[in-house]
Amino acid sequence: MSQMSPMSPMRHKRHAMPVTQGEHVIVVGAGVSGLTTAVALSLAGCRVTIHAAEGPSQTTSALAAAIWHPFYQAPDFVYLARARQTYATMCRLSTDATSGVLMRSLTEYFRRDAGAPWWAECASRLKRLPETEVPARFACAYRMDVPVADTGAYLRYLMNMFLELGGQYVQRRVDSMTSLLDKADIVVNCCGYGSRQFGDDHLSLSRAIVLRAARDDAVRGCFIDDSDPHAPTYIVERDDDIVLGGTADPALTSTVIGAHQIDDIVRRCARLCEGVAALRVIDARVGFRPMRRAPRVARDSEHPRLFHNYGHGGGGFTLSWGCANDIVRLAGLTSAGAPRRSIDSDAAQP
C-alpha cells in the first residue's frame, strides 16, 4: 500500500468527522515513532494509551545512532517538511539537559559536487569546507549543526513526558488493530515491521550493524559518508559513547557479527576521522530497519478511525515529530507542539 498524501476533501469526504479533544486514543508501539505520536496526541488534548509488546529499550529505536540526517533520501517536499519540524523541535529539546538531545557538529562528505544538500535549509550554521580540508577522494564537504539523541535517555524522556501528560502504558502484544477500535475512538499503528503481520507486504528489513566505542577526545563531532547504499559510514559523538557505523544489508536477518565486519566499519570510519583508530570498541550490535518505499503516514483506507505511522527506514528520529504532527492533523486535531521546557515544569506546557 503506497503512502497517502494529506487528506483531500473530495476523496475523504466520508471521513471528514474529526476526532474531538478528550477522546481516547490507543497508540500501538513504543519506539521513537510511537512515543512521539503519543506525546503529540496528548498535547492535542487526547487521552492516550500506549499498547506495546516491548518497552522502549527493547525496540529498534534503542539501537539507533539517532542523528538527525536524511540518509539515502531523494529530494521530497513531504519528507523535507517533516524533517524540518523534527529538527526545530529537537533543537528546542536540546536546551533541556534531561532530554538526552544535544546539538553536534556534523561534517558530511560527498563524492559528487551538487552544491549544498537539498535539505540544507533545515540545518543551522551550514558552511562548505575549503578544499584543503576535504580528502582527495571526495568532491566536497559541508559542516552543519544537527540534533543527536542518546537513545536511552531520549526514549525515557519521551516516556516520562507522555506519563506526565496523563498517558497510560500497557505492555501487551496486539494481534489485531481493528479489535482495538472497540476500545478507543481512534487507533494509531506505530509498530514498524510488525505491521507486516497486519497485511502490509511492502515492508522489508534492512540489517544494520553498529559499534559503540568509549568516548575519547580524539573524536569530536559527527561525520558521514553515505555514498555507498550498502555501507553507510558514520561517526556519531554522543554524551557517553561514540557510535560507529555501519551496514544496510537488505533482507538479511542473521544476528551474527563477524570480526571482518567490525574491522571494516572501523577502517571506513577511520578514513573519515583519523581519531577513530584510537578508539576502544565496547560492543557491536545488530538492528533491523523497517524499510518501505515511503513511510506510511495515513488514515487507513478501510477503517476511518485507524491511522498508520511506520516504515521510516533509517529516518525514524529524523522524521519523528513531523510524522507525529501529521497524524494529529489527519485526525482533525490541533497540535500543541513539543514542550519548550522540562516536563518537570508546569506539566509540559508548550
String of DSSP letters for 97-161: TTS-EEEEEEEEEESS--SS-TTGGGSEEEEEPPGGGS-TT-SEEEEEEEEEE-HHHHHHHHHHH
Return the CATH number at 75: 3.40.50.720
Is residue 126 a part of any domain in this protein? no
**Residue 12 confidence class, pLDDT cut points 50, 70, 90:** very low
Is residue 246 a part of any domain in this protein? no
Is residue 14 a part of any domain in this protein? no
**Binding annotation for D-dopa:** 234, 289, 314
For residue 306, give the H/E element and its range.
strand 306-310
Is residue 263 a part of any domain in this protein? no
**Binding annotation:** 60-61, 174, 234, 289, 313-318
Is residue 222 a part of any domain in this protein? no
What's the distance, CA 72 to chain centroid? 14
What is the per-residue pLDDT for 317?
95
**Binding annotation for FAD:** 60-61, 174, 313-318
Number of domains into which the chain is organized = 1
Nearest to 247 by CA among 239, 257, 237: 257
Is residue 248 a part of any domain in this protein? no
**Residue 54 confidence class, pLDDT cut points 50, 70, 90:** confident
Is residue 152 a part of any domain in this protein? yes
What is the per-residue pLDDT for 253?
87
332-344, pLDDT tens digit by residue? 986 555 444 333 3
User: Structure pTM?
Assistant: 0.87
Is residue 99 a part of any domain in this protein? yes
Domain that holds residue 153: 22-103+147-203+292-336
What is the per-residue pLDDT for 21?
55
> For cell 513504543, what's the residue?
30
User: Mean pLDDT throughout 90-110?
Assistant: 97
With contact defined as beta carbons under 8 Å apart, do 212 and 282 qualify? yes
- Residue 348 or 77, more confident: 77
